[in-house]
Amino acid sequence: SNNGNNGKTGRFGKNQGKSMVIFWLVFFTFCLTQFLISRDKGNILPPRTIKILIWKWPYARRTNLTGNVCADLYDIHGCHLTDNQSAFNQADVVVFHHSDIYPSVATLPTEKWRPHLQKWVWLSLESPTNNRKINQLNGIFNWTMSYRRDSDIFIPYGELVPNIGQPFSIPKKISHLAAWVVSNYRESHKRTGVFHSLQKSMAIDMYGRANGKPLSKDSLLQTISKYPFYLAFENSIHQDYITEKLWRNSFMAGSVPVVLGPPRTNYEVFVPAGSFIHVQDFPSTKELAEYLRAVANNETHYRQYFEWKKQFTVKVYKDWRERFCQICKKYKTLPQRKIYHNLEEWINS
């Protein structure tokens, strides 16, 4: 009979053991769930703040960095911007704007001890034509930051963002067909030749410092908006080099862009095919001028160039802080061991 009792106890012991295992499993699962929930709320182990040092402000346009800029303005958290060079040793990322370093590599803090994991970023919104002395910068930078889609940190001049049912109207137009605003005027530019040739077949009003008719920031879009077309001619022709001439001067003003830049297929990566007219769509400037006249005289056809506004609105990037905060957004996905051994080759590719 003793043996029988022992058997019972053994069975009871087994059951009790199972219950304990189940209890601890449930308890552990509960704790893990609570941990994950609280971690997602940011209560446990908040992500490390990434410190970004702006070595020099692009074009010396210093902007206010008080407060938590990235979080407050752009909802990007765990990101600290500073322009205080004495924070060099604590910085995770140091950004160097090309036009501030190209006169001489000596302006780079290469003599300083560079923290082991610190990343150096080469920044430029200029085209390869306008970026000088790149060959001296090989083997120095980890990441690139530019208007090119294949940059490590892609910072376009503008983009189209979904438009939540915002009404739009096309500004009233005057009889002159097109406007062109140009400050950097050179006879050697391809665009200057196209302009002269086009001018023989149609009326183009030229503005800007180049011909003594500068437009203030306030009057720029207002003036352009009166013209059916705007000559969004880039100063040099390179992949992805599509500047504020398209985004701000044309799209924001409400004037149809006539573009000269990379091929049509490259523009179509960024904007709908029917939102612009490409100089290369025509065998000659004479035929381009004839087409522009025909479109301007046909309201239905002209309106088709604004169809995109039913779905999209333009976002133009003006604030450098927003661009710098993007580094934190991308930080985790960026290659940690990358070095541009031949920066020049990449830039000119």
Q: Tens digit of pLDDT for each residue in 130-158?
A: 877 777 888 999 999 999 999 999 999 99
Which residue in 231, 237, 208, 210 sits closest to 220, CA to CA?
A: 208
- DSSP letter at 297 equals T
Residue 79 pLDDT: 97
121 vs 137 pLDDT, higher one: 121
Top CATH class of 50-151+327-348 equals alpha beta
The reported pLDDT for the residue numbered 175 is 82
Helix, strand, coil percent values for the chain (each to nearest 5): 45, 15, 40
pLDDT at 298: 96
Tell me which amino acid residue 90 is. Q
The percentage of the chain sitting over the pLDDT mark of 90, rounded to a whole number, equals: 66
pLDDT 10s digits, 59-95: 998 999 999 999 999 999 999 999 999 999 999 999 9
Q: Are 305 and 274 in contact (CB under 8 A)?
A: yes
> Would you state the pLDDT for residue 15?
65
Six-digit token pair at 10?
Answer: 């053994």
111 catalytic? Reply is no
Neighbours of 305 (CB within 10 A): 20
CA distance 326 to 194: 37
Q: Which two tokens stand for residue 112?
A: 């300083």
Q: What's the distance, CA 21 to chain centroid? A: 54
Query: Catalytic residue among 111, 126, 290, 307, which?
Result: 126
Confidence of residue 2 (pLDDT cuts 50, 70, 90): very low
Per-residue pLDDT tens over the stretch 101-114: 876 777 788 777 88
Average pLDDT over residues 190-194: 90
- Amino acid 7: pLDDT: 45
pLDDT-derived band at 14 (thresholds 50, 70, 90) equals low
Domain ranges for the chain? 1-45, 50-151+327-348, 160-316
Q: What is the mean pLDDT of residues 301-324?
A: 96
Averaged pLDDT of the chain? 89
Query: What's at 62, amino acid-wise?
Result: R
- The C-alpha angle with vertex 344 and arms to 339 and 345, in degrees rounded to 5, equals 90
Q: Is the pLDDT at 11 greater than 80, yes or no?
A: no
Q: How far is residue 130 CA from its own chain's centroid?
A: 19
Q: Which of 54-58, 150-154, 185-189 has the lowest mean pLDDT?
A: 185-189
Mean pLDDT of 264-270: 98
From 236, 240, 226, 235, select the one nearest 271 (Cα to Cα).
Answer: 240
As a whole number of angstroms, the distance between CA 206 and CA 191 comes to 13
Please tell me the predicted confidence (pLDDT) of residue 32.
74
**Distance separating alpha carbons of residues 294 and 300, to the nearest angstrom:** 11
- Average pLDDT of the residues in 31-57: 73
Least confident of 11-20, 182-191, 210-219: 11-20
- In the predicted model, is pLDDT for residue 228 greater than 80? yes
What CATH superfamily classification does 160-316 receive? Glycosyl transferase family 10, C-terminal domain (3.40.50.11660)
**Same fold for the domain at 50-151+327-348 and the one at 160-316?**
yes
pLDDT at 3 over 90: no
Tokens 């009326």 correspond to: 203
Residue 9, pLDDT > 60, answer no
- The CA distances from residue 181 to 30, 205, 209, 221, in Å, are 65, 9, 8, 11
Cα separation, 231 vs 179, in Å, equals: 6
- Global pTM reads 0.83
Q: Flag the least confident range among 13-17, 228-232, 239-243, 274-278.
A: 13-17
- Reading the block at residue 264, the tokens are 């049509």
